[in-house]
Amino acid sequence: MAGRVLVVEDDDRLAEYISRGLLEQNFTVDRAATGRDGLFLATDAQHDVVILDRMLPGMDGMAVLKAMRAAGVRTPVIILSALADTNDRIEGLTAGADDYLGKPFSFAELLARVQALLRRDKGGPAQAEAAVLRCGELELDRLTRQVRRGSRKIPMQPREFRLLEYLLLHAGQVVTRTMLLEAVWDYHFDPGTNVIDVHISRLRRKIDDGEPEALLRTVRGAGYMIAAG
Amino acid sequence: MLRRLASSTVARLIAAIFVLQVISGGAAIGLLRAKMLQVIDLDRTRQIVDLRNELLGAFYAGGYRELASAVAERRGSVSDPLLFVAVSGHGKPVLSHLAAVPQVAAGDRPVRIRAYHASGGPPAEALALAADLADGTHLVVGILTTPDRHFDLAFVEALALVIVLTAGLALGGAMLTGLVVSRRAHAIAETAEALAAGNFAARVESSGFGDGFDHLGRQINLMAERIDGLVSELQSVAGGLAHDLRSPVARLRAAIETAQAAVPEGAAQDALQLALSDAEVLEAMLAAALELARLESGAMADRRAPLEVRALVLDLAELYEPLAEQTGVELVASGVPATVLGDRELLSRALANLIDNALKYGGGRIMVRTVPAEEAVVIEVEDDGRGIPAADRERALERFTRLDNARTRPGAGLGLATVAAIARLHGGSFSLGSGDGGRVGDAGGGQAGGLVARLRLPLV
């Protein structure tokens, strides 16, 4: 799973924290402290993901991103920004970013998003278009909109269906609450407390209750993961 | 349109112009009438003087006999039915177009008299001239002036026509002026409205006439430039502040997480967990405060689009329903469909705030609904909790206000202030009331019926 990540961040301590976390996950990490250096390293196109701070000395993150895209570098980019309201997010995404994360963030959130981008880049498209998504004996048919586990047919509300579909598309991968909220509900704010947890609990009751193996797991301090075996 | 025009300044101006036009039209017609009557009178005078001279000619040629026969046989001008002659002094008077001899003293100038015409009827108005001849003959010649009335009638008709035409033109002028004036005034008002809604790029277009409207437009544009400048400044200050404050918090959090990975379970781990949750609260407060500052400055892109409010309400209710059920609260969503111009993200955030509040401070039942109002739709979130006393409701909308019962719960005290700011950005309003059908400002506490939060949004 591991790959090569470029971290463009001018705050040494934050860059250190991100790099150390990624190294622990067996990623190879390159670091740049200015926009100019970041752009220079990124145009090599040797990286699997670029983590780009938005406010950088000299050349700011948005300029780096635009220059990268103009130079034909297709490497997925996650923007980190202290400016995290919806306008900034949209501005970032329309400039060619693949994801956008507001500061401060938890490392688990960043890691989950980096992994989601890696997965999407490596053989993701085939899965994204698959008609039937599977995890162990759990099957979700995207055409007939039916879910079954083994021989048991599981009735689903439309939202539960989309929730499970998203989890299955990211099977074996940690998915955070924020990622779910953005992808399944299209909200970009924190609805507070444990709104998403309760949705997951409901879904879990439907697919895992009475089964010998639990497929939908909680990853402490990070989010959720659906995986078999 | 017409009603609005009637009550406007333009209408008063037009009414004044109308009155002045009628007065000047009437004066012109009056003068014309006087002049025409003067000309006609001169003409009549000439006619009767000519007639007298003609008859005097007959008298001097053949004396009384010739005169009398000229009159009796209606020779020459005497035949004109409007002219009349009376010859008296020699027995039975000789009359032409007359029933009786008019009483007129001899003189050089014609006088106004009333004469009995041969055709009968009441005496008619006439102009007459009398002469006493050498043999005692008394000659009276005159002309009927009755047609004067016809003139007067014609003039009254003309005056009426002037009034009708003037009224029509004045009304047309009013419509045209009103349209032009109101179009330009509304263009300026729309720009001001766009500015108020946060679109600081809005400018008034100049017509190039250099009139009062252009002056007003220029001043509004100057004001907009200034606001635009201030807002961009605020935006960069807010951005800088966000960077300055959020980066240390990010580092704080990073340090805590790093420490957590290194420390085994136990007292230190528990303390770090507490520190982490406090860092998260700090993060949330910072985010909320910055968000509110941006909302209140209106310094954000206008992403409003036609939005169906009931669907928005149902979506949010669906998001919170499992949580409500788990907390033992019944969450019911209902209402009428209504379309507003709205920012889905912001309105969802406002509604999430209200539902979250109701879950925290309400009772066992939350009702979310859309209610039709005059040219607006109201999103109501009603709970059956203890409510907020009427005296505290205004204060609850202020930033950093936390009412007593909220002190023990997490939160930054920015939620309702944020909802109010979002309502204002949409040209709507936000208010709190008590659940027993009361309005904001009711006397008495909200103890009985819980709280109703009302988010009012204008319809498209």
**Domain range spanning residue A215?**
125-226
Which residue carries 């006087």 as its tokens?
B34
pLDDT at position B439 over 60: no
My answer on whether A86 and A139 are in the same domain is: no
My answer on whether A102 and A12 are in the same domain is: yes
My answer on whether A112 and A136 are in the same domain is: no
Q: Which residues of B touch A159 (CB under 8 A)?
A: 318
The mean pLDDT value of chain B amounts to: 82
In the prediction, which pLDDT does B444 show? 42
My answer on whether A211 and A168 are in the same domain is: yes
My answer on whether A106 and A38 are in the same domain is: yes
Of A225, A227, A212, A205, nearest to A134 by C-alpha is: A227
B356·A192 Cβ contact <8 A: yes
Q: What is the ipTM of this complex?
A: 0.81
A11·B348 Cβ contact <8 A: no
Q: Which residues of B touch A102 (CB under 8 A)?
A: 287
My answer on whether A16 and A65 are in the same domain is: yes
Calculate mean pLDDT across residues B175-197.
83
My answer on whether A11 and A114 are in the same domain is: yes
pLDDT at position B252 over 80: yes
pLDDT at position B445 over 50: no
Greatest mean pLDDT among B75-84, B147-156, B331-340 lies in B331-340
Residue A5, CB-side half-sphere exposure with 13 Å CA sphere: 29
Beta strands in chain A (DSSP E): 4-8, 28-32, 49-53, 77-81, 99-102, 132-135, 138-141, 146-149, 152-154, 175-176, 216-219, 223-226
In the prediction, which pLDDT does B154 show? 81
B334's tokens: 């209902």
Which residue carries 């959020």 as its tokens?
B246
pLDDT at position B426 over 80: yes
- Residue with the larger pLDDT of the pair B142 and B80: B142
Beta strand A99-102 with A77-81: parallel, antiparallel or unpaired?
parallel
pLDDT at position B443 over 60: no
A96's tokens: 């060619």
Name residue B155's amino acid: F
pLDDT at position B438 over 60: no
User: Cis peptide leading into B122, omega within 30 of 0?
Assistant: no
pLDDT at position B455 over 90: yes
Calculate mean pLDDT across residues B271-286.
84
To test the contact with chain B by mutation, choose from A11, A79, A157 the residue with the greatest count of B C-beta atoms within 10 A, namely A11
Q: Which residues of B touch A103 (CB under 8 A)?
A: 246-247, 250
Total domains in the fold of chain A:
2
B254·A55 Cβ contact <8 A: no
Calculate mean pLDDT across residues B91-118.
83
Which residue carries 């400044």 as its tokens?
B233
In the prediction, which pLDDT does B441 show? 41
B361's tokens: 């401070």
Q: Which residues of B touch A86 (CB under 8 A)?
A: 303, 345-346
What is the largest distance, in Å, between two alpha-carbon atoms of chain B? Answer: 159
Calculate mean pLDDT across residues B188-198.
83
Helix (H) or strand (E) holding B380: strand B376-383
| B48, B142 contact by CB (below 8 A) | yes
Can you tell me the distance from the alpha carbon of A229 to that of A132, in angstroms, rounded to the nearest whole number? Answer: 19
**How far is the alpha carbon of A200 from chain B, nearest alpha carbon, in Å?**
10
In the prediction, which pLDDT does B294 show? 73
What CATH number should be reported for the domain holding residue A197?
1.10.10.10
My answer on whether A10 and A113 are in the same domain is: yes
My answer on whether A165 and A182 are in the same domain is: yes
In the prediction, which pLDDT does A124 show? 58
Can you tell me the distance from the alpha carbon of B227 to that of B221, in angstroms, rounded to the nearest whole number? Answer: 10
Can you tell me the distance from the alpha carbon of B445 to that of A202, in angstroms, rounded to the nearest whole number? Answer: 39
| Chain B residue with the nearest C-alpha to that of A24 | B261
Calculate mean pLDDT across residues B156-177.
82
In percent, how much of chain B has pLDDT > 90?
Answer: 16
To test the contact with chain A by mutation, choose from B237, B245, B323 the residue with the greatest count of A C-beta atoms within 10 A, namely B323
| B143, B47 contact by CB (below 8 A) | yes
Name residue B391's amino acid: A
pLDDT at position B199 over 80: no
In the prediction, which pLDDT does A125 show? 55
Return phi, psi of residue B140, to 5°.
-120, 125
Beta strand B365-373 with B330-335: parallel, antiparallel or unpaired?
parallel
Helix (H) or strand (E) holding B411: none
Query: Per-residue confidence at B67, pLDDT binned at 50, 70, 90?
Result: confident
- Sheet of A175-176, strands arranged across: A175-176, A223-226, A216-219
**Alpha helices, DSSP H, located in B266-403:** 267-297, 309-326, 344-361, 390-396
Coil vs helix vs strand at B189: helix
My answer on whether A132 and A70 are in the same domain is: no
Calculate mean pLDDT across residues B236-259.
76
Coil vs helix vs strand at B386: coil
Name residue B304's amino acid: R
Please list the rounded mean pLDDT of every run of 10 residues in chain A (229 residues).
Answer: 87 89 91 92 88 88 91 91 74 88 85 88 67 91 92 92 93 90 88 86 92 90 87
Asked which of A60, A88, A122 is the last residue of a domain, the reply is A122
Calculate mean pLDDT across residues B317-339.
93
Can you tell me the distance from the alpha carbon of B293 to that of B431, in angstroms, rounded to the nearest whole number? Answer: 20
Which residue carries 């109010």 as its tokens?
B420
Coil vs helix vs strand at A220: coil
Calculate mean pLDDT across residues B306-328.
93
My answer on whether A136 and A217 are in the same domain is: yes
**How far is the alpha carbon of B251 from chain A, nearest alpha carbon, in Å?**
6
Can you tell me the distance from the alpha carbon of B277 to that of A194, in angstroms, rounded to the nearest whole number? Answer: 14
Can you tell me the distance from the alpha carbon of A19 to that of A13, in angstroms, rounded to the nearest whole number? Answer: 10
Q: Quick one: angle between helices A61-70 and A35-42, nearest 10?
A: 20
DSSP letter (8 states) at residue B204: P
B319·A11 Cβ contact <8 A: no
- Residue with the larger pLDDT of the pair B294 and B69: B69
A78's tokens: 């996650």
Q: How far, in Å, are A104, B183, B187, B214, B217 from residue B220 at the CA level? A: 41, 16, 12, 10, 5
**How far is the alpha carbon of A181 from chain B, nearest alpha carbon, in Å?**
10
**pLDDT tens digit string along B361-417?**
888 899 999 999 989 999 999 998 888 888 777 777 776 666 655 544 555 567 888
- Residue with the larger pLDDT of the pair B74 and B336: B336
Asked which of A122, A142, A168 is the last residue of a domain, the reply is A122
In the prediction, which pLDDT does B446 show? 40
Angle at A78 between CA A74 and CA A81, to 5 degrees: 140
Query: Per-residue confidence at B103, pLDDT binned at 50, 70, 90?
Result: confident
pLDDT at position B440 over 50: no
Query: Per-residue confidence at B454, pLDDT binned at 50, 70, 90?
Result: very high
Exposed / middle / buried, residue B285 (Cβ in 10 Å: 0-12, 13-18, 19+): middle
In the prediction, which pLDDT does B436 show? 59
Of the partner residues B242, B326, B345, the one whose CB lies closest to the CB of residue A82: B242
Binding-site residues on chain B for chain A (CB distance < 8 A) = 239, 242-243, 246-247, 249-255, 257-258, 279, 283-284, 287, 290-291, 294, 300-301, 303, 315, 318-320, 322-323, 325-326, 345-346, 348-349, 352, 356, 359
Nearby residues of B109 by Cβ (< 8 Å), 6 or more positions away: B129
Can you tell me the distance from the alpha carbon of B23 to that of B17, in angstroms, rounded to the nearest whole number? Answer: 10
Can you tell me the distance from the alpha carbon of A108 to that of A219, in angstroms, rounded to the nearest whole number? Answer: 10
Beta strand A223-226 with A216-219: parallel, antiparallel or unpaired?
antiparallel
Which residue carries 């400018």 as its tokens?
B203
**pLDDT tens digit string along B19-64?**
888 888 888 888 988 898 888 888 888 988 888 888 888 888 888 8
Can you tell me the distance from the alpha carbon of B58 to that of B71, in angstroms, rounded to the nearest whole number? Answer: 10
Name residue B340's amino acid: V
Can you tell me the distance from the alpha carbon of A160 to that of A206, in angstroms, rounded to the nearest whole number? Answer: 10
Of the partner residues A103, A188, A191, the one whose CB lies closest to the CB of residue B345: A188
- Residue with the larger pLDDT of the pair B2 and A203: A203
Exposed / middle / buried, residue A172 (Cβ in 10 Å: 0-12, 13-18, 19+): middle
| Chain B residue with the nearest C-alpha to that of A55 | B243
Can you tell me the distance from the alpha carbon of A133 to that of A124, in angstroms, rounded to the nearest whole number? Answer: 13
What CATH number should be reported for the domain holding residue A67?
3.40.50.2300
Of the partner residues B239, B246, B323, the one whose CB lies closest to the CB of residue A103: B246
My answer on whether A69 and A10 are in the same domain is: yes
Angle at A207 between CA A202 and CA A208, to 5 degrees: 95
Q: Which residues of B touch A194 (CB under 8 A)?
A: 323
pLDDT at position B442 over 60: no
Asked which of A78, A93, A122 is the last residue of a domain, the reply is A122
